[in-house]
Structure 1
């Protein structure tokens, strides 16, 4: 059953500006895990779009979790991973993982997309409980 839904749109130019500022490395380290940084950095042409999509996914996941950036949840508590095959996935750490366990969330569905100007992420949190009729 669906426990929470989150959607977020992120301006790619805004993320690019944040990364290119003198404080860009600090921004990157505060928001993105080392694995997320490595993934985005290897995507030379789509580097900023990849960062923006992950930023949007983190925001969407926090909305689906029901906390936003409150209740002790930090940016690094939500990690977007890309398995060799299949769609992107979420791995939660720290406070976000504890809240997800408490809410009974067992599965995350993640969709990412981007165009020239913006990136969008949709996240659905499920408890893997009994499904309602028609699903």
Structure 2
């Protein structure tokens, strides 16, 4: 049974401007593993896409559960990839749910959608 659906759309240039100033947003949004993976990327544009995708996915999850960010921290959520390269998400306190995540980028935007299903 579907427990929640969330979506978030974000402009890449907002994230790019933030990263040009400092790494503060990345440190606030990403877990240590995610931050390490982002820092391993060679091209700045790829880093922007990486951070924006995870930010959007985490915002979409917060919308899907109906609380928004606040009761749930960005650090409680982690986006990684399965063996085929598809994104997957783990969230502390939601281990008994199946979380479907989709992230897509265009030249100017990133969109993420979350579907939460009770097991």
CA distance in 2, matches of 1:44, 1:64: 33
User: Does residue 106 of structure 2 align to residue 115 of structure 1?
Assistant: yes
1:28-86 CA distance string (max 9 Å, x none): 2111112112222333332211111111000001111221113x211111111122324
Aligned residue number for residue 9 of structure 1:
9
Aligned residue number for residue 80 of structure 1:
79
Once the two structures are superposed, the pairs formed by residues 30-45 of structure 1 within 5 Å of their partners are 30-45=28-43
CA distance in 1, matches of 2:75, 2:104: 21
CA distance in 1, matches of 2:82, 2:32: 16
Once the two structures are superposed, the pairs formed by residues 23-62 of structure 1 within 5 Å of their partners are 24-45=22-43, 46-62=46-62
TM-score by structure 1 length? 0.78
How far did residue 92 of structure 1 move? 1.1
Ranges in structure 1 where 5+ consecutive residues have no aligned partner:
129-135
Structure number with greater Rg is: 1
TM-score by structure 2 length? 0.88
CA distance in 1, matches of 2:72, 2:13: 26
> RMSD of the alignment, in Å?
1.6
How far did residue 116 of structure 1 move? 0.8
